[in-house]
Amino acid sequence: MMKTISIGLLGLGTVGTGVVTIIEDHQEKLMHQVGCPVVIKKILVQNLEKLRSVDVEQSMLTTCSNDILDDPEIDIIIEVMGGVGVTKDYLLKALRQGKHVVTANKDLMALHGSELLRVAAENGCDLFYEASVAGGIPILRGLVDGLASDRITKMMGIVNGTTNYILTKMSQEGRAYEDVLKEAQDLGFAESDPTADVEGLDAARKMTILATLGFSMNIDLADVSASGISNITEADLRYGKQLGYTMKLIGYAHREGEKVEVSVQPTFLSDNHPLASVQNEYNAVYVYGEAVGETMFYGPGAGSLPTATSVVSDLVGVMKNLRLEVNGRSAVTPQYFKNLKEDNEKYAKYFIRLHVQDEVGVFADITTVFAKYGISFEKILQLPVKKNEVAEIVLVTHRASLTNYQHIMQQLRDMNAVKEIKSSYRVERNSI
């Protein structure tokens, strides 16, 4: 039997507490999986005196990272402290000292994953990061292992629980964005500064990781165009419902031939799309492979125990590799050079809501603008507005290139008859 495997835990917040709980409560299962005892030897914390929801011996706690990183008896580092700069330095030091790493840090992996994986391979170490995307859903493992023989062409999903909770409540209860955001903060679903979530940055980081793995191509965060949900109104959602759509913040990654596009944006989904029924703080990722067809990964996207489950599953993977003496061999360098689509190669349908002068001929003028670029309408709503002789028009286009869509939007802004473009969103059809 192997010696006891010793773990250094960086962070004892929500996820760290869950990791301690699972390792302590599941010792028998872990022993069965890897054939030796598993112990947490040392835990890095900011405050030694803080009251915590899990009982740990005071001697296990330290505020000095070197007590963990320089300890030759510690085999594996689990990082759940968050942050980028200092955390990256800790993990690089750990890898260079031959320690394997498990992390739940999406920000770090999106920004510096390539460097960390390279250093891990150079030092014969494992670096696993399943928990960095969609919490308790094994989406990364599904892409790397379960769909390894397939060619992934499209991934789209709800990868941020905060925004999904907000949009669910707005849509189902007709409430304003600010009201639901405050509730999400009170419940702990949203941070006191929710910017990263509601403006799409958190989802963009996750889509960077998914696209890199799914397409075997080094996608950078800067390659992901991102927009958030803070400007969505109850009126947008109401009109969407009338037309048979549900609003979600969708991460979208698509490969055609050798070119890819990756984005995060509010999207109207057809009500019968599988992602339309994903409610509240839950996450789901829809994947299309040339061989397997359509698959969907669904589950809790955050939380102490769901995320900790993914962390400990990665830990088991590292420990199995230790037993087989194959650590550091699982990382596969990207197969393809990055090749991004141009705007004229990106196609979608669009929902556009306009306030226009309520006069004869205005709609014909608007139609002429779309016809100039060969774009027709799939759905149309026209409603009077009880002030200033203004009419409201809601259009859903057929597929248009992003280039043509941008030209059309500019020409609408320039038209005297168009008083205001109230909103515009991507629209996704029934299936992927």
The neighbouring-strand residues paired with 340 are: 260
Positions of CATH 3.40.50.720 in the chain: 5-135+304-324
Structure tokens at 358: 């309520």
Positions of CATH 3.30.70.260 in the chain: 345-427
CATH 3.40.50.720 fits 5-135+304-324, yes or no: yes
DSSP assignment, residue 340? B
CA distances from 184 to 70, 119, 188, 236 (A): 41, 39, 6, 21
* pLDDT tens sequence across 106-164: 999 999 998 999 999 999 999 999 888 877 788 888 887 778 788 999 999 999 989 99
CA distances from 382 to 59, 95, 239, 375, 392 (A): 69, 61, 11, 19, 6
The span from the CA of 159 to the CA of 264, in Å, is 10
Kindly tell me the burial class for residue 173, based on how many C-beta atoms sit within 10 Å of its own C-beta (0-12, 13-18, 19 or more): exposed
Comparing CA positions, the residue from 241, 308, 289 lying closest to residue 103 is: 308
The span from the CA of 91 to the CA of 120, in Å, is 10
Structure tokens at 202: 């958190």
Residue where the block lists tokens 């609003």 = 247
Comparing CA positions, the residue from 356, 362, 367 lying closest to residue 393 is: 356
CA torsion through residues 287, 289, 294, 298, sign: negative
State residue 269 phi and psi, 5-degree precision. Answer: -105, 140
Return the CATH architecture of domain 345-427.
2-Layer Sandwich (3.30)
**Tens digits of pLDDT across the chain (432 residues):** 567 899 999 999 988 999 999 999 988 888 888 888 899 999 999 999 888 888 899 999 999 999 999 999 999 999 999 999 999 999 999 999 999 999 999 999 999 998 999 999 999 999 999 888 877 788 888 887 778 788 999 999 999 989 999 999 999 999 999 999 999 888 877 888 999 999 999 999 999 999 998 999 999 999 999 999 999 999 999 999 999 999 999 999 999 999 999 999 999 999 999 999 999 989 999 999 999 899 999 988 767 788 888 899 999 999 988 887 888 777 667 788 999 999 999 999 999 999 999 888 999 999 999 999 999 999 999 887 776 788 999 999 999 999 999 999 999 999 999 999 999 999 997 654
Comparing CA positions, the residue from 242, 251, 257 lying closest to residue 223 is: 251
The span from the CA of 324 to the CA of 124, in Å, is 13
**Cβ neighbours for 406, distance < 8 A, ≥ 6 positions apart:** 343
**Cβ neighbours for 337, distance < 8 A, ≥ 6 positions apart:** 217
For the domain bounded by 148-299, which CATH number is listed?
3.30.360.10
The span from the CA of 217 to the CA of 152, in Å, is 12
Positions of CATH 3.30.360.10 in the chain: 148-299
pTM: 0.89
DSSP assignment, residue 142? I
- Catalytic residue numbers, as ranges: 206
CA torsion through residues 159, 165, 170, 173, sign: positive
Residue where the block lists tokens 């890898």 = 95
Helices 201-215 & 106-122 angle (0-180, nearest 10)? 30
